[in-house]
Every structure is written in C-alpha cells, then in structure tokens.
A and B are shown apart, each in its own frame.
Chain A
C-alpha cells in the first residue's frame, strides 16, 4: 500500500493512501472535534465541525477532514483562527436546535461559547445522521431515514420496519449526541445510560 506524507499542526505524518485527514490527525493524537463521525460508519461530512484548513501550493482552503483524502505534501492546520471561528459559529448554530445538551456544551466550553445569539428552536435534533446511517450501514435494517429537505429536514422512523425491529435493538439511542431519541420515546437508553447522561441540566 502506498503511503503519503503530510504535515498536520507542524507535525509530519506518513499514512496509507486512501485514509482521511481525520484519520491522519487521530494517528498523531490530535483531537479534531466531530458530531457526525463514527468509526464504524462511512464518513458523512455533514456537521462540518471537523473542518480544517489546508494549504496546497499557495492556496489555503477549508475542508471537512473526515472526508478529505490524505495527499502528499499537504499542510494542515486543525485549529487556525479561521477554523476556530467556524467551530464557534457551528456550536452556536447547533445550540439553537439543542440547548442544554452535554456534548454541545462541552464543545462550547472548548471554544469559549457559552450560549447562542440565535433564535432557539428546540427540537433536539442536529441531523448528524448517526442513527440513520448506523441503522442502514451496521444493522442494515433501514428503520429510520430522513424526511423533508432544507430547514424542514428531519429524521423519521419507517413504521413498517421500526415496529418489527426497533424495540429489540435501540442501538441508535446511545449514538444520539443530543438524546433526542430517548427523549421522545420512553427515556430509557441503551447500555445503562439514562437521559441525564446527555442533558446538561437536570430538568431538561
């Protein structure tokens, strides 16, 4: 297998061709935040939280590290001022959908975001798609999918399939970064977790 060599945050790394920038950063122990990434799932590139700045020749641009394939000679910055600005704004945007959510508050704390300037519409779904993709790719059940488009996009169970498979599975519950799924069912989460493990405030 061909390996390529690139530079991330000033450190050189050699890695197999075909891997992503996120893989390369991880191999160096660099923590790039993500909301829609899961090791068992194909990269999605939806949350953009893993955006990094790359320089190829003279041109610098922002790419999603979870989907961008490694290239020889690439110079990558995972926490440049431009990237921090992006992450701050993204945290604010998701906080408006899902306030008082532990995963988001942790991210906010990392980047100094304590609240959102945007109008909150609490639906607790940030459309990371982890449940949809896990159900399709790992469980191959396709019991949950997307409905709608644009700002009306949402996740929806397919009743015919869900009624047969979901009660005995619920593996997607634990993946949900905002606990929307347990919130909207019976509050019992997979793997011994409770709703309080996801929610920052007790009375959420």
Chain B
C-alpha cells in the first residue's frame, strides 16, 4: 500500500525506510536490462532463468534480481550487471544463466566468454566501468537506468528520486526555480536547442487562467531512441522534471505525448503517474506545498510531423496533427489557445539534476553555448551501437572511435548523419569538431534529437539524400506547397540521379529548390527538409557529379549504376555463384570459368557475396566498361588453392 506523502519530511522518512530495508545495500543484485532492445533479445526469459536458477542453486532470498531500463549498449544485449562488483555480461542468453549463477554469484569467478572483448586487441574486461563503450561516457541523465526498476517508485526514491521536487516546493519560489533553469542555460534537447528557461518564462508571463506543460515523446527520427529509453527506463525522472517545470510556470495540468510506436514507454509512464498520484506526488497539495498538478498521457496516432509543437498540440486537442503558422508562439497560445510549454523528454529529465545540484554545477559541463550532456544514439556502420551520453563539446571522433570502437570490417569512415531527416551529413575532415548545438549548425547539420548515423565507404551519399527525402515525402503533412511539392520534385530528381537518369543542371536545380523550401515552408519540417540534400551536395558534390556526368556511383551502391563481372583469371569454376544466382545469369560449368550474362543479371549481388574470399573473382563495377563475355567456353586457368 502506497504511503501518501503529506510533506517533504514524509518523503525523506519513506526514503530512509526504503534504504534501511534489509534487502537493499546488503545483498548482491543481478540487474537485467529490460529495455525494448534487450527484450527483443529475450531479456524476460533471462530474468526468468535467473529466478529459476537462483531457486535451484539455493540463492533464493540471498541475491536480488531486478529488471531495469535500457543500459544503452543495445548492440550486445541482453546486458546483465552483477552488483556490487559491477561485473557486466553481454549477449547473455537464458542458457548462460546457470553458469553465471554457479560461477560468478556462488564461486566469485568471471565467466570470461560473456565479458566485453575489444575487437582489435582481443583484450577482455569484466567491470562495466572498464568497458570503453561506458568508460568514455558521462551518464548523468541516463546512468540511473541501470540501477532502477522503472516499474518501482521505491527504486527511484531510493536513488534520490523526487528530492529535487521536494527542494523546489519547500525551499524555492517558482521564480527561483525558473531563474535556476535560466541560469543553467539549459537548451531544449528536442532539436532546435531553444533556451528552455526563456520558453518557460514566456509561458509563465503569458496572461491566462490556465496553462499547460507538455512532454514531447514523439521521437520519430530514423535511428533515434534516447527518449524512448529514458521514458521506458526512468519515467519518474521525466515526471519529476515536469512537475518542477509546472511549479515554475504556474501550470496545473500537464500532458505526456507518447508516439504510437512506444507501447512500453506508454505503459511505464502510465504506471509512474499512477504511483506518483498514490504517493501524493501528483494531484492536490503536492507534498503539503499547496501546489496542485495533474498529468494525462496522450498517445499519438503515428505521424512524424506530430513532433512539431503546434501539430502535437493540435493532436492533443483531438484535431489532425498538422502544424499551424507559429507567428504567435505555442508558449503564448498553444493547447486550446492557452499558453503551453512543450519540452522534450531529455530536457525535462535534466531539470531535477539542475535543481538538486545547482545551475553553476550544470554550467560547468559542456561548451560556452551548450551546457550539460547530450544523449546520442550511435547507429549505422559502427562497431558498438547504442545510446551514449557525453558532455556537450565531445568530438565526433571520440564518440565514433573511443566509444563506438570504429567502423566494422576494416572499412573506411565516410560520413556521419546527425540530427535525423532535418540534419545533414558531416564528412571525415570535421570529425574533430567539438560538437554542440551551434557547431553542428555551422557545419550545415543540426543536433536534432541526437541521432548519429555512421556511414562507411560503401554508402552512396546521393542515395542517403534520396532516402531521407523520400522519408519526408511520406511524413510531411502536405499542407504547404514548398514542402509538399518541393519534396515530391526533390525526391524525383534524386531518384533519377541514383538510377543514372540525372541530367546536367539537376544539382543546381536541387540547390535552387532547397533555398525556396527553407525560406517559404510553413513549419520547421519543410524549412529543414532540404538539409540532407544540401549537406551532401556541400561535402560530396563529386559524388553527385559522378552519378550525373559519368553515370557512375563511386560507392558502388546504386543498383542501376553497378554491374557484376567475373574476372576470368581469378575464377576457379567452383560453381558457388552459378548455383546461387537466382536469375540464372551466371553461365559456365564444371571446370569452365563462369561469366555473367548482363542482360539476365538482376544485380542482387549474391554472386559477389558467395564468391569465397580467397578467390575474390566477382568484381563490382561502376562507370567502367564491362569486358565482353568469352566467345567460347574457357577452361579454368586459376589454381584451385589460391
């Protein structure tokens, strides 16, 4: 039964009671990541296996187990950490659990094969803190995910939860809270990087009987999932930030907008709200302060554009989620025409830290213009994918090479796409830029919500631009001409270029169109929609020109511009490509070297993939003349054992 907390001292008493309970502190704990990524790997089964094995091996009641939120290292899920020694096992399967229980929990030995292995050196490390992926991060916002069961308010309270709210309500006036956030120079983590304190102040100062505060959890950028992981893994931290913000702004009602695709985040925030209400941390007279605040959860209906503030608010009102011209800001006239302050999940999660540790502590982290840390989702062609939190001002190289352990398969880095579909691609020569909101904008990209998609030498930059443009074609709301028609034509031109039908002047037309789209579109989606095109033209113009003028794809990626060819002097007539070709385009036979009939070839690339590495007889060509097929069957000349 939940204790209704009537005052801040009630909260402190509850915290003491939780911390003093015999299970906490004294007993070892097994935590299993139960974020969406690890759940897909089967973390629930791993949890169950731990329960069964501990029972079987006599540890029931002696070791605690806990399903936590996302730890960030999604590449190597299921992630299991054994406390107090912080031994971290990666890629754990239910079958591994018996060994972990007998060897590590009972025998205090490390199960080597489950520890992190450095791909380059083969060096292993067992402690979570020693793993390079974690060692180079500063997980201020995200770190508690690995300790806390997101379904337990007691866990959150045990980790100092709601102490910032207690401090704000009992020791600070709303104005002082606002000033602290302003002083901390917290900038919105949702994309634009607008100063959160200034936005709060606008809503606070706008005259109205009712005001709203909103959490934006409509994270839609391809490859970005930091908001989901925070909402799933530590929903109370977001909620606490929201309540503090509401207090500063003078709002008594709040909304949490969660996108359709995030069922676990919805489940956990709904539960968190229920628990907070039961404890008197939401509702009337919170902690005896006289401050009232309630929160509702609104589930999105599945539209990327609904992450835009005015579209999101229209959706909450029950209308179609489409942006409106924002010449009067939503901070002044938002939901039902009332002042409404919208911040993204990560922004709200920063607030309790700022209140607890103070603006000067917060300001000491980061760069001149961007304070604090930022969570990035590191995905694409990088060895360690997952969520990483670093101080603002970390370089792309640190994130990609120190934390991400570089590019797989010895490939060369080509570009990093930041900021989602509104962002841009940054080439290698800018890898040492200390990244923050302003530095990324200066490079023609943006921070966005913090997606980092790493691309290697096999990525065609024109194709990347085409991909993001076609994504936006579907996700634009379609209200205004520059965005809707601009994207339609941009997408058509890019498609032509990647199919070898590009014409002289196409690149210039793209640039001209891009300028008008960014100048004249109704909302930020259209205004930034051309960024992927502009940034790839800026840094990889030669690739566009190769496609248009030479009908060549330098990355050998665009299907229409590549051809497969078997080099006669390397082919041993092993028959692998011949057997595997789905369209029967590979000709030849036993001891007769193989060749590809270019007319029948569908360019699926299977021959290229199956040709054994020691032969490498299949070549991928682009822009070169394909040598003619043999006039008559040629017997094998290459040695079988190359």
Hey, which bits of chain A sit against chain B, CB under 8 A?
35, 45-49, 51, 62-64, 67-69, 82, 85-86, 89-90, 93-94, 96-97, 117-119, 121, 126-127, 129, 146, 148-153
Inter-chain CA distance A86–B488, complex, in Å, is 17
Inter-chain contacts of A90 with B (CB < 8 A) = 481-482, 516, 520
Q: Is B4 an interface residue (CB 8 A)?
A: no
Given A45-B480, A47-B481, A93-B486, A68 and B520 contact (CB-CB distance below 8 Å):
no
Inter-chain contacts of A63 with B (CB < 8 A) = 327
Question: B residues 467-505 with Cβ under 8 Å of A?
Answer: 472-482, 484-489, 491-492
Inter-chain CA distance A127–B477, complex, in Å, is 12
Q: Given A86, A93, A149, which contacts B475 in the complex, CB threshold below 8 Å?
A: A149
Q: Is B515 an interface residue (CB 8 A)?
A: yes
Asked whether, in the complex, the Cβ of A150 is within 8 Å of the Cβ of B484, the reply is yes
Q: Is B574 an interface residue (CB 8 A)?
A: no
Q: 6 additional contacts, CB 8 Å, given A48-B481, A96-B489?
A: A89-B516, A126-B481, A150-B475, A153-B477, A153-B479, A153-B484
Asked whether, in the complex, the Cβ of B479 is within 8 Å of the Cβ of A46, the reply is yes
Given A62-B519, A68-B325, A86-B516, A93 and B474 contact (CB-CB distance below 8 Å):
no
Asked whether, in the complex, the Cβ of B516 is within 8 Å of the Cβ of A148, the reply is no
Asked whether, in the complex, the Cβ of B477 is within 8 Å of the Cβ of A69, the reply is no
Question: B residues 174-225 with Cβ under 8 Å of A?
Answer: none
Q: Is B459 an interface residue (CB 8 A)?
A: no
Inter-chain contacts of A149 with B (CB < 8 A) = 303, 305, 474-478
Asked whether, in the complex, the Cβ of B478 is within 8 Å of the Cβ of A93, the reply is no
Shortest beta-carbon distance from A40 to chain B in Å: 19
Question: B residues 320-373 with Cβ under 8 Å of A?
Answer: 320, 324-325, 327-328
Asked whether, in the complex, the Cβ of A47 is within 8 Å of the Cβ of B480, the reply is yes
Inter-chain CA distance A149–B304, complex, in Å, is 11
Q: B305: nearest residue on chain A (CB-CB)?
A: A149
Inter-chain contacts of B478 with A (CB < 8 A) = 127, 146, 148-153
Given A64-B325, A68-B325, A151-B476, A82 and B519 contact (CB-CB distance below 8 Å):
yes
Shortest beta-carbon distance from B222 to chain A in Å: 15
Q: Is B535 an interface residue (CB 8 A)?
A: no
Shortest beta-carbon distance from B80 to chain A in Å: 42
Asked whether, in the complex, the Cβ of B521 is within 8 Å of the Cβ of A48, the reply is yes
Asked whether, in the complex, the Cβ of A45 is within 8 Å of the Cβ of B522, the reply is yes
Q: List 25 A-B contacts (CB under 8 A).
A: A35-B481, A48-B480, A51-B520, A68-B327, A82-B519, A85-B515, A85-B516, A93-B485, A93-B486, A96-B485, A118-B492, A119-B492, A126-B481, A127-B481, A146-B320, A148-B478, A149-B305, A149-B475, A149-B476, A150-B472, A150-B476, A150-B478, A150-B484, A151-B473, A151-B487
Inter-chain CA distance A146–B479, complex, in Å, is 10
Q: Is B2 an interface residue (CB 8 A)?
A: no
Q: Is B509 an interface residue (CB 8 A)?
A: yes
Shortest beta-carbon distance from B490 to chain A in Å: 10
Q: B474: nearest residue on chain A (CB-CB)?
A: A150
Shortest beta-carbon distance from B548 to chain A in Å: 15
Inter-chain CA distance A85–B480, complex, in Å, is 17
Q: Is B513 an interface residue (CB 8 A)?
A: yes
Q: A68: nearest residue on chain B (CB-CB)?
A: B327
Inter-chain CA distance A153–B492, complex, in Å, is 17
Question: B residues 513-528 with Cβ under 8 Å of A?
Answer: 513, 515-516, 519-522
Inter-chain CA distance A152–B477, complex, in Å, is 9
Q: Is B512 an interface residue (CB 8 A)?
A: yes
Asked whether, in the complex, the Cβ of B481 is within 8 Å of the Cβ of A151, the reply is no
The 4 closest A-B pairs by CB, nearest first: A153-B478, A93-B485, A89-B516, A150-B476
Shortest beta-carbon distance from B259 to chain A in Å: 15
Inter-chain CA distance A56–B631, complex, in Å, is 75
Inter-chain CA distance A85–B592, complex, in Å, is 63
Inter-chain contacts of B516 with A (CB < 8 A) = 85-86, 89-90
Asked whether, in the complex, the Cβ of A69 is within 8 Å of the Cβ of B480, the reply is no
Inter-chain contacts of B320 with A (CB < 8 A) = 146
Inter-chain contacts of A69 with B (CB < 8 A) = 327-328
Inter-chain CA distance A153–B478, complex, in Å, is 6
Asked whether, in the complex, the Cβ of B519 is within 8 Å of the Cβ of A127, the reply is no
Inter-chain contacts of A67 with B (CB < 8 A) = 325, 327
Shortest beta-carbon distance from B556 to chain A in Å: 27
Q: B492: nearest residue on chain A (CB-CB)?
A: A119
Asked whether, in the complex, the Cβ of B520 is within 8 Å of the Cβ of A151, the reply is no
Inter-chain CA distance A127–B475, complex, in Å, is 17
Asked whether, in the complex, the Cβ of B481 is within 8 Å of the Cβ of A46, the reply is yes
Inter-chain contacts of A121 with B (CB < 8 A) = 488
Inter-chain CA distance A150–B322, complex, in Å, is 11
Inter-chain contacts of A148 with B (CB < 8 A) = 478
Asked whether, in the complex, the Cβ of B325 is within 8 Å of the Cβ of A48, the reply is no
Q: A45: nearest residue on chain B (CB-CB)?
A: B325
Q: B477: nearest residue on chain A (CB-CB)?
A: A149
Asked whether, in the complex, the Cβ of A93 is within 8 Å of the Cβ of B489, the reply is yes
Inter-chain contacts of A93 with B (CB < 8 A) = 481-482, 485-486, 489
Inter-chain CA distance A151–B478, complex, in Å, is 6
Inter-chain contacts of A47 with B (CB < 8 A) = 480-481
Inter-chain contacts of B476 with A (CB < 8 A) = 149-151
Asked whether, in the complex, the Cβ of A89 is within 8 Å of the Cβ of B513, the reply is yes
Q: A35: nearest residue on chain B (CB-CB)?
A: B481
Q: A97: nearest residue on chain B (CB-CB)?
A: B485
Asked whether, in the complex, the Cβ of B474 is within 8 Å of the Cβ of A118, the reply is no
Inter-chain contacts of B303 with A (CB < 8 A) = 149
Inter-chain CA distance A144–B521, complex, in Å, is 25
Shortest beta-carbon distance from A19 to chain B in Å: 13
Q: B479: nearest residue on chain A (CB-CB)?
A: A46
Inter-chain CA distance A63–B484, complex, in Å, is 17
Inter-chain contacts of B487 with A (CB < 8 A) = 150-151
Q: Given A94, A117, A152, which contacts B509 in the complex, CB threshold below 8 Å?
A: A117
Inter-chain CA distance A18–B477, complex, in Å, is 27
Binary CB contact string for chain B from 446 to 477 against chain A (1 if under 8 A, 0 otherwise): 00000000000000000000000000111111
Given A46-B522, A48-B522, A150 and B473 contact (CB-CB distance below 8 Å):
yes
Inter-chain contacts of B482 with A (CB < 8 A) = 48, 86, 89-90, 93
Binary CB contact string for chain B from 282 to 310 against chain A (1 if under 8 A, 0 otherwise): 00000000000000000000010100000
Q: Given A48, A62, A85, A151, which contacts B488 in the complex, CB threshold below 8 Å?
A: A151
Q: B509: nearest residue on chain A (CB-CB)?
A: A117
Inter-chain CA distance A90–B521, complex, in Å, is 11
> Which residue among B305, B481, B522 has the maximum number of chain A CB atoms within 10 Å of its CB?
B481
Shortest beta-carbon distance from A157 to chain B in Å: 17
Shortest beta-carbon distance from B608 to chain A in Å: 33
Asked whether, in the complex, the Cβ of B520 is within 8 Å of the Cβ of A94, the reply is no
Asked whether, in the complex, the Cβ of A94 is within 8 Å of the Cβ of B492, the reply is no
Inter-chain contacts of B488 with A (CB < 8 A) = 121, 151
Inter-chain CA distance A152–B305, complex, in Å, is 15
Q: A118: nearest residue on chain B (CB-CB)?
A: B489
Q: A21: nearest residue on chain B (CB-CB)?
A: B327
Q: B323: nearest residue on chain A (CB-CB)?
A: A45
Inter-chain contacts of A152 with B (CB < 8 A) = 474, 478
Inter-chain contacts of B491 with A (CB < 8 A) = 151
Asked whether, in the complex, the Cβ of B474 is within 8 Å of the Cβ of A151, the reply is yes
Inter-chain contacts of A82 with B (CB < 8 A) = 519
Inter-chain CA distance A179–B623, complex, in Å, is 47
Q: B496: nearest residue on chain A (CB-CB)?
A: A119
Shortest beta-carbon distance from A99 to chain B in Å: 13
Inter-chain CA distance A127–B521, complex, in Å, is 15
> Which residue among B488, B512, B516 has the maximum number of chain A CB atoms within 10 Å of its CB?
B516
Inter-chain contacts of B325 with A (CB < 8 A) = 45, 64, 67-68
